[in-house]
Structure 1
Amino acid sequence: MGDVGTAKTEGNAGAGGNQPVKRRRGAARGRILDAAARRFYADGVAATGIDTITAEAGVAKMSLYNNFDSKADLVRAYLEARHEEWLGLYERRLAAAQGPADAVLAVFDAYADHAGLAYEHGFRGCGLLNAAAELPAGHEGRTVVRHHKEQVESLLAAHLQELLPGQEERAEATAEHLAFLLEGAIVRAGLEGDAVRMRRARDLAVSLVGAL
Structure 2
Amino acid sequence: MTAAAARFYAQGVASTGIDVITADAGVAKMSLYNNFASKAELVAAYLEQRQEEFLALHRRRREALPTGARPGERALTVFDAYVEHAEAAAEFRGCGLLNAAGELATGDPGRDAVARHKAEVEDLLRDALTPRDGERGADDVGGLAEHLSLLLEGAMARAGLEGSTARLHRARRHAAILLAAS
Tell me which interval the TM-score lies in, with the shorter structure as reference length: over 0.9
Counterpart residue number, 1:96: 64
Cα distance in structure 1, aligned partners of 2:84 and 2:42: 25
Cα distance in structure 2, aligned partners of 1:165 and 1:148: 28
Counterpart residue number, 2:2: 34
Counterpart residue number, 2:174: 204
The yes-or-no answer on 1:83 pairing with 2:51 is yes
- TM-score, L = length of structure 1: 0.80
More helix by share: 2
Counterpart residue number, 2:145: 175
- Going from structure 1 to structure 2, the CA distance change for 1:166 and 1:103 (only over 3 Å counts) comes to closer
Larger radius of gyration: 1
Query: Pairwise CA RMSD of aligned residues?
Result: 1.7
Deviation at 1:113, TM superposition (A): 0.5
SS in 1 for 2:140: helix
Q: Structure 1: give runs of 5+ residues left out of the alignment.
A: 1-32
Which residue among 141, 156, 164 is the counterpart of 2:125? 156
Counterpart residue number, 2:158: 188
Tell me the alpha carbon deviations over residues 20-65 of structure 1, each in whole angstroms, 9 at most, x when there is no partner.
Answer: xxxxxxxxxxxxx100000000000010000000000110001111
Deviation at 1:111, TM superposition (A): 0.3
Count of residues in Structure 1 that have an aligned counterpart in Structure 2: 178
CA contact (8 A) 2:129 2:137 kept: no
How do 1:18-167 and structure 2 match up within 5 A? Answer: 33-98=1-66, 99=69, 100-119=71-90, 122-162=91-131
Taking CA–CA contacts closer than 8 Å with sequence separation of 6 or more, which of the two structures ends up with the larger relative contact order? 2
Cα distance in structure 1, aligned partners of 2:87 and 2:150: 20
